[in-house]
Structure 1
Amino acid sequence: MKKIAFVCFIISISVQLTMAQQVADTVNLTDIKFTVEAAPDWSALLKRQTGWFGGDGIYTIPLNGMEGEQAHANNKILFIFSDSMIGKVRNKTMVPGYKMIHNAYAILDGDKPDAAKMRFYWDRDSLGNAESVFIPNTPRTEKSDYYWLGDGFVNQANNNIYIFGYRVRNVSDGAFGFKEVGNTLIKIPAGDKPPYKNIQQEDTPLYITDESGSFGSFGAGIYVNTKQASAPNPDGYIYVYGVRDLAKNLMVARVLPEDFEDFGKWTYWDGSIWNKDIDKVVNITDGVSNELSLTALPDGRYALVFQHGGMSPNVGMRIGASPTGPFGPVIKLWDCKPDLIEKTFVVYNAKAHPSLSKPGELLISYNINSVDFINDLKVHPNLYRPRFIRVKFQ
């Protein structure tokens, strides 16, 4: 009987994969009609002169747990940022006393770019100086580690807020002087209100390396494919995307909402089935960025939005047949070159914000930074902040 059941299981899996491939073969992954324009109202929202006046790593989390159109109903949106500048801008330069911290957040009351309804939060040290909100404190943490933040969501199975934290360490070797050394899950328990004081965190097995030098980490993007979150074609799973290696290859894992903290129940797409072995995970596309988004489109397809190649002037999109792909070629959405007014400026980490988008549209952000950071900020104090564009699908 066990052998018969096993054979039936294998046949079932084969049928599912065949059907999935047939669906993928009928989906147009190359063409989509759209228009795109700058969204100056949203870009202006983060052009500030005091307090938080710059940062990157922007993700948006609807606090009612509803993604897409349903997120707009009387909701608050949590914005999370990685490296952030705290201080003042006056006479078009930074006032002495500014400080960079490694992460911060803000709460927007509603889904409109209204500065009067947005409040920023960061912590303070014993001397009253600005400090990061999320500071690594796990068994694998070393004293000098700090967090940059990945994506997050409100888990409607328990109403906790989950955010991925990348443990980063400054190093003497490497191209940028820092490297990610671990992956952490940050939990803000249900019922905790800003300023969040009951933050919990744990190391995860979601940072992967091997003897060949390959490296990667999960948390670059989250797609909540549940009925409770108003997903259009829900299968009940949380999809978590990861990026690895310099080719910016995309990986995907999934888990049921109630099992989110139980990493033994996570599975990873190996190209054929969902596999419990993380080492079997395959690349489902490439040329993405370390921060990205996957969003369901009105026509049943999926939009994967990213900065093409990780750090380039091009905001790109690939059309997917499902949350695991296959994905079509890169469709260029926006050329960021007009923002690069200095040769030292760089652009990176585009992603969509469905909870801030109108029906049939996607609001997309991308980050601006500089390889001559402080010197450029002295002249362009508001350069270091997200810019927004609006894509309208036809």
Structure 2
Amino acid sequence: MKKFAVITLMYCIVANLQSNAQTNRKPVNLTDLNFTVEAAPDWNNFLKRDNGWFGGDGIYTIPLNGIENKQANPDDPILFIFSDSMIGKIENGTMADGYKMIHNSVALLNGNKPVAAKMRFSWDTDKKGAAESTFIPRTPQTDSTDYYWLGDGFVNQELGNAVYIFGYRVRNVSTGAFGFKEVGNTLIKIPAGSQPPYHDLKQMDTPFYLTDKKGDIGSFGAGIYVNTTKAGAPAPDGYVYVYGVRGIGKNVMVARVLPKDFEQFDKWTFYDGANWVKDMGEVADVTDNVSNELSLTALPDGRYAMIFQVGGMSTNVGMRIGATPYGPFGPVIKVWDCRPDLEEKTFLVYNAKAHPSLSAPGELLISYNINSLEFIADLKKHPNLYRPRFIRLKINSKGK
């Protein structure tokens, strides 16, 4: 009995200490960040081109050394991936005949600066030598008319340094506001050392496309945060966090998996708002009002910044502060008003995100995309409109 009493007393002491620690823990500030922001004309001009690749959206950047959480070294290669891309020439202030839109393309930049001589764009070609998408769906669930738009990607240092990229299978449809629909989620695996157009890649259908009880469609791959020591994460827990977006509310879902298990989809878990669970159907919405592409970046003070276009297609680049990679997240902090870029009423803005491997210490280089509701007509008048624009968010040394 004495032994039992001692154990009980010790348990009570530990429980009281834990309770006091939780009570006295300073709450994380999710509402404020001390920052300034300015345009990044060097990067804006870098992607203003008139030959070959002259436009695209969906930009993600993947440091091929696998170090995701800090600026790349001057000679480190960085893979840029784009979704719909314009290939051709701009002459006399308009698109020359023979231009073509393909559904995705890539570029390799050696280093972290916008130096044209160090950037090489690439795409595939068809049997006639015409430009063709780098990545074309070829999985068991693919329909002959499907094509890829690309999600985020990373170098998996636990699986042979292969590059993993999410591919959204998209199909043109006769219904809906935009004439297309996402119909499936896949994973593209590029072996280490492979060169564009990556004819040795592997493609896998994934289960990470869902329709929930309300009928909202969702998919994972909108953003990736590699929270590992090898990736340079400041507070690593060993997991890769993958963000999904669903519904017209642009709600964020979070999944995680160990890097070594990335292809073993049954080992993924999903955050239900309190715990990590196996059932994707139980995944919670951790925040909302984001865009279909986004980023999560560790801040110097231990918090996390989620960057996105507010509401999907508004004129504001937004940020939410998170206490952990899976929340809780604070309210929208408006970072940048994109309206000065909208020369025509038909222009629209979407899918902002940060690029840590291109960001100087204490800064976040952020991109957002410009497009048009009258795409070809406006491109003929403004042939350089369809390309990412960039801003620099500079964080005060105190952080908040």
Q: Measure, in 2, the Cα distance between the counterparts of 1:23 and 1:326.
A: 19
Q: Please tell me whether the aligned partners of residues 65 and 71 of structure 1 are also in contact (alpha carbons under 8 angstroms).
A: no
Relative to 1, partners in 2 of residues 1:18 and 1:206: Cα closer, same or farther, differing over 3 Å? farther
> Hey, what does 1:196 align to over in structure 2?
198
Partner secondary structure for residue 52 of structure 2 = strand
Partner secondary structure for residue 26 of structure 1 = coil
Residues 1-394 of structure 1 mapped to structure 2, 5 A cutoff: 26-69=27-70, 71-72=72-73, 74-158=75-159, 159-210=161-212, 212-394=214-396
Q: Please tell me whether the aligned partners of residues 150 and 166 of structure 2 are also in contact (alpha carbons under 8 angstroms).
A: yes
Q: Please tell me whether the aligned partners of residues 58 and 79 of structure 1 are also in contact (alpha carbons under 8 angstroms).
A: yes
Query: What do residues 147-167 of structure 1 show as CA deviations (whole Å, max 9, x unaligned)?
Result: 000000000102010000000
Shift of 1:124: 0.5
> Hey, what does 2:11 align to over in structure 1?
none
Relative to 1, partners in 2 of residues 1:220 and 1:72: Cα closer, same or farther, differing over 3 Å? same
Shift of 1:25: 6.5
For the pair shown, the structure with the greater C-alpha radius of gyration is: 2
Q: Please tell me whether the aligned partners of residues 70 and 230 of structure 1 are also in contact (alpha carbons under 8 angstroms).
A: no
- Unpaired stretches in structure 2, ≥5 consecutive residues: 1-14
Q: Please tell me whether the aligned partners of residues 58 and 80 of structure 1 are also in contact (alpha carbons under 8 angstroms).
A: yes
What RMSD over aligned residues (CA atoms) do the two structures have, in Å? 1.8
Partner secondary structure for residue 216 of structure 1 = strand
Q: Measure, in 1, the Cα distance between the counterparts of 2:143 and 2:193.
A: 30
Shift of 1:189: 1.2
Shift of 1:199: 1.2
Q: Please tell me whether the aligned partners of residues 318 and 330 of structure 1 are also in contact (alpha carbons under 8 angstroms).
A: yes
Relative to 1, partners in 2 of residues 1:128 and 1:138: Cα closer, same or farther, differing over 3 Å? same
Relative to 1, partners in 2 of residues 1:32 and 1:99: Cα closer, same or farther, differing over 3 Å? same
Partner secondary structure for residue 71 of structure 1 = coil
Q: Measure, in 1, the Cα distance between the counterparts of 2:103 and 2:327.
A: 33
Relative to 1, partners in 2 of residues 1:279 and 1:18: Cα closer, same or farther, differing over 3 Å? farther
Q: Please tell me whether the aligned partners of residues 183 and 206 of structure 1 are also in contact (alpha carbons under 8 angstroms).
A: yes
Q: Measure, in 1, the Cα distance between the counterparts of 2:373 and 2:80.
A: 25
The amino acid of 2:115's aligned partner reads D
Q: Measure, in 2, the Cα distance between the counterparts of 1:360 and 1:172.
A: 47
Partner secondary structure for residue 27 of structure 1 = coil
The amino acid of 1:117's aligned partner reads K
The amino acid of 1:295's aligned partner reads T
Relative to 1, partners in 2 of residues 1:305 and 1:24: Cα closer, same or farther, differing over 3 Å? farther
How many positions carry a matched residue from both structures?
380
Shift of 1:210: 3.6
The amino acid of 1:268's aligned partner reads F
Q: Measure, in 2, the Cα distance between the counterparts of 1:191 and 1:121.
A: 16
Relative to 1, partners in 2 of residues 1:190 and 1:28: Cα closer, same or farther, differing over 3 Å? same
Shift of 1:22: 6.9
Relative to 1, partners in 2 of residues 1:388 and 1:120: Cα closer, same or farther, differing over 3 Å? same
Query: What do residues 175-227 of structure 1 show as CA deviations (whole Å, max 9, x unaligned)?
Result: 11000000000000123233422111010000001453111000000000000
Relative to 1, partners in 2 of residues 1:18 and 1:216: Cα closer, same or farther, differing over 3 Å? farther
Query: What do residues 321-371 of structure 1 show as CA deviations (whole Å, max 9, x unaligned)?
Result: 000110111101000000011000000000000000000000000000000
Shift of 1:23: 9.6
Q: Measure, in 2, the Cα distance between the counterparts of 1:69 and 1:101.
A: 31
The amino acid of 1:176's aligned partner reads F
Q: Measure, in 2, the Cα distance between the counterparts of 1:20 and 1:88.
A: 64
Q: Measure, in 1, the Cα distance between the counterparts of 2:92 and 2:25.
A: 56
Q: Please tell me whether the aligned partners of residues 71 and 112 of structure 2 are also in contact (alpha carbons under 8 angstroms).
A: no
Shift of 1:378: 0.2
- Which consecutive segments of 4 or more residues in structure 1 shift more than 3 A? 17-25
TM-score by length of structure 1 reads 0.94
The amino acid of 2:368's aligned partner reads Y
Partner secondary structure for residue 383 of structure 2 = coil
The amino acid of 1:306's aligned partner reads F
